[in-house]
Structure 1
Amino acid sequence: MNTQTQQSAKSYFNLHTQGIGYLNDIREVELKKGGKYLSCRIAALTGESSKPEYRYFDCNVNGAEAEKLIRKCEQAVNGKRKVLISFVLADLWTDTFTYAKDSEWHKKGDVGVSLKARLIRVKSIKIDGELKYQEPKPTETPAQAESVN
């Protein structure tokens, strides 16, 4: 690496969150200025395993491998099957919105908060309790890992 390359290299601080949750609402989002990206919602499990609570994350799917795996789950999610993934999220942020209609917990016009993140890695996938994908261990090659069907 030459001196010019060393001086122009950028460094970043990364905030990663990992967990397990149910995959929902896989969709393509079209940008106003053109282009599109893959998005999904994850209902992450938290708390005691006998009575878990959920934290909902709206995610932009980043990276070719994560996108490929989420797209392979689309048919199962649309078929209302239970798709449980182990995941890694990056760069969490919040977004506010206004409720458009009354619900059990909120009135129309109330301000809500949405948790957002980039889904950067899928470590495993179970569909209706059956393991369909397991991230290869560092000594394994991708061909040795199971594939999603």
Structure 2
Amino acid sequence: MTTLNSKYCNLLTTGEGLVVDIHTERTRWGQSLLACHIKALHGLRDKAEYLDYDARVVGKQAERLIRKAQNAVNAGCDVLIAFKAGVRWLSIIKYDDDHPRAGEIDIVQKARLLFVHWMDVDGVRVYTAEASAVRDGNAEDALTGNDSSDAATPKPAAAADVTALAASA
């Protein structure tokens, strides 16, 4: 039997997905947490399907990047990330009165967003994690991420705001 060196046992999911909503979520213990809705891609790239996650952002590096992407998401830009998430679970929700599906009950897949490997805004790479951080799993080392050298000039103004990620994250 192997002894684990971490105090956590993680079941991890990695993938790519569109960030379509960034919001604050309240836990049942009353804590406010940053969360985002990710439409994770799967299947053939030219016929990809989506799997929806409502992800609590718990990694420090991921939290900084998702906060920086808020303006781009609000402006309707396509924000695509490569991510690492853990601890998936299902949650039963009842839609609020102000929701178009008010009163309906639904099941939502939840996860914990741990790490962002890279981020594109409208097809322009605005952030790439340092290779050593990805290899070693040390998210704090990734905060010095860089702009991709082949990135074109960002199209929308919101993408330009996110381009500052590498310098400030």
Change (3 A) 1:92 1:80: same
The CA deviation at 1:57 is 0.1
Give the root-mean-square deviation of aligned CA atoms: 2.8
Asked if residue 114 in structure 1 is aligned to residue 94 in structure 2, the reply is no
How far apart, CA to CA, are the structure 2 residues paired with 1:144 and 1:30? 30
Identity among equivalent positions (%) equals: 33
> 1:145 — aligned with what?
146
Kept in 2, the 8 Å contact 1:83–1:127? The answer is yes
Q: Of Structure 1 and Structure 2, which has the larger fraction of its residues in strand?
A: 1
Change (3 A) 1:139 1:15: closer
Q: TM-score, normalised by structure 1?
A: 0.78
The equivalent of 1:28 in structure 2 is 24
Counterpart selection for 2:71 from 40, 52, 75: 75
- Unmatched segments (≥5 aa) in structure 1: 1-8
Residue 3 (structure 1) aligns with: none
Alpha carbons 2:128, 2:145 under 8 Å: kept: no
CA contact (8 A) 2:118 2:127 kept: yes
Q: TM-score, normalised by structure 2?
A: 0.69
Change (3 A) 1:58 1:144: closer
Q: How many residue pairs get matched?
A: 135
Contact 2:54/2:109, CA 8 A, preserved across alignment: yes
